[in-house]
């Protein structure tokens, strides 16, 4: 077992940072292909069968997210191959992605991301405790121990962890009884926070059947987070990582947000503005589209379907302003104010090490 990233030099802060960074990498690797290509492939599949195959491929990648997260987290701790696959296996078991019944086993989406993260953390902890004690027997015994102990605990705590998502869903659901503008602000702000956490925005939206303007506001909240993280990241991180936050998922910046939560202030301000616009211009969506922002154009495509007249020139121009121009202008402005005038944080606080 390697010691770089493990052992005596490992602090609690470094452990958490490794877990969050691995979580972000796994989510991005699993979700970006689908986010970028799914809507395009759905539109082109009736005309060319190859796009139906591509759609199946990117959907399959999405179902591997727990495995990818486990592998990425193990990699951040510089574990050796047998330790790495043990963590990945235990993580998949504890994620809840598999549903067992009398008729067989089914894959139920990506599972619970919070429980996925916790199970991976437990698996790494078990490996650190075992260390090199198994010696030559590690390939024979380690996967069994790690999967049964960590995966078993993960399955045991899964119902309790899932209740966190349920509680957040009930909180968001309570906003719907408020005045429309206030509802739009709260939904957009909430979704801008959720997308920068291990909780799934899509899981929240589908759990409460969030549609109509509430879905549109949630969508724009995700847009605010994506653009806010892109703007802040662009100055200090590689362009590829910054684009992943913008076009894929801003969850890749989770570790930076945990280290310095105040970098979310410009995101929240932008989300509040966009939440108002969602109500004023009647931007709508579906429970599925609510959690995607403009990744793969899922948000704008669903929004235009609900607009009177559909994809007219005026409607498309309006969507460009609401999903791109206004969010970028407000994002740059709020980030500039918070960083250079209010001195809430420095540009280095956005540094992320994938």
Direct distance between the N- and C-terminal alpha carbons of the chain, in angstroms, rounded to an integer: 22
Q: Burial letters for 165-179: b for 16+ Cβ neighbours within 10 Å, e otherwise?
A: beebbeebbebeeee
DSSP for 299-321 reads HHHHHHHTSTTSS-HHHHHHHHI
Cβ-in-10-Å burial (0-12, 13-18, 19+) of 16 comes to: middle
User: Given this model, what pLDDT does residue 7 score?
Assistant: 55
Q: Alpha helix (H) ranges present in 208-293?
A: 212-234, 239-243, 254-259, 265-280
d(CA 2, CA 132): 10
User: Given this model, what pLDDT does residue 343 score?
Assistant: 94
Q: Inform me whether the pLDDT recorded for 4 exceeds 80.
A: no
User: Given this model, what pLDDT does residue 292 score?
Assistant: 79
Q: Inform me whether the pLDDT recorded for 289 exceeds 90.
A: no
Query: Could you tell me which residue, 60 or 34, shows the higher pLDDT?
Result: 60
Query: Could you tell me which residue, 74 or 310, shows the higher pLDDT?
Result: 74
Secondary structure of 1-54 as H, E, C letters: CCCCCCHHHCCHHHHHHHHHHHHHHHHHHHHHHHHHHHHHHHHHCCCCHHHHHH
Q: Inform me whether the pLDDT recorded for 176 exceeds 50.
A: yes
d(CA 64, CA 274): 33
| pTM confidence score | 0.85
Contact 297, 315 (CB under 8 A): no
pLDDT in tens, 297-306: 888 888 998 9
Contact 93, 151 (CB under 8 A): yes
The domain limits of the chain are: 7-164, 178-350
pLDDT in tens, 335-346: 999 999 999 999
């Amino acid at each position: 077992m390697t010691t770089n990233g493990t052992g005596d030099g490992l602090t609690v802060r470094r452990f958490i940072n490794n877990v969050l960074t691995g979580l972000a990498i796994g989510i991005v690797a699993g979700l970006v292909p689908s986010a970028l290509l799914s809507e395009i492939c759905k539109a082109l599949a009736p005309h060319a069968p190859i796009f139906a195959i591509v759609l199946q491929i990117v959907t399959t990648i999405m179902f591997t997210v727990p495995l990818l997260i486990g592998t990425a987290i193990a990699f951040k701790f510089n574990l050796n191959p047998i330790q790495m696959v043990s963590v990945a296996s235990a993580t998949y078991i504890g994620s809840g992605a598999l549903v067992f019944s009398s008729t067989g086993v089914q894959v139920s989406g990506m599972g619970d991301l919070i429980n996925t993260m916790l199970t991976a953390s437990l698996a790494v902890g078990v490996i650190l405790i075992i260390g090199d004690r198994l010696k030559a027997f590690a390939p024979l015994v380690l996967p069994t121990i790690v999967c049964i102990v960590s995966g078993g605990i993960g399955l045991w705590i899964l119902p309790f962890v899932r209740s966190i998502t349920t509680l957040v869903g009930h909180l968001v659901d309570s906003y719907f009884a408020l005045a429309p503008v206030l509802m739009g602000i709260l939904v957009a702000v909430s979704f801008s926070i959720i997308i920068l956490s291990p909780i799934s925005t899509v899981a929240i939206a589908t759990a409460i059947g969030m549609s109509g303007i509430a879905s549109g506001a949630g969508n724009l909240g995700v847009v605010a987070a994506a653009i806010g993280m892109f703007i802040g990241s662009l100055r200090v991180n590689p362009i590829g990582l910054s684009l992943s936050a913008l076009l894929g998922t801003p969850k890749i910046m989770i570790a930076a947000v945990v280290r310095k939560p105040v970098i979310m202030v410009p995101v929240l301000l932008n989300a509040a503005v966009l939440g108002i616009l969602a109500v004023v211009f009647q931007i709508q969506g579906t429970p599925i589209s609510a959690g995607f922002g403009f990744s793969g154009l899922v948000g704008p495509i669903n929004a235009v379907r609900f607009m009177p007249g559909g994809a007219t020139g005026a409607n498309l121009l309006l969507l460009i302003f609401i999903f791109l121009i206004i969010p970028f202008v407000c994002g740059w402005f709020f980030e500039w104010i918070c960083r250079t005038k209010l001195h809430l944080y420095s540009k280095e606080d956005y540094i992320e090490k994938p």
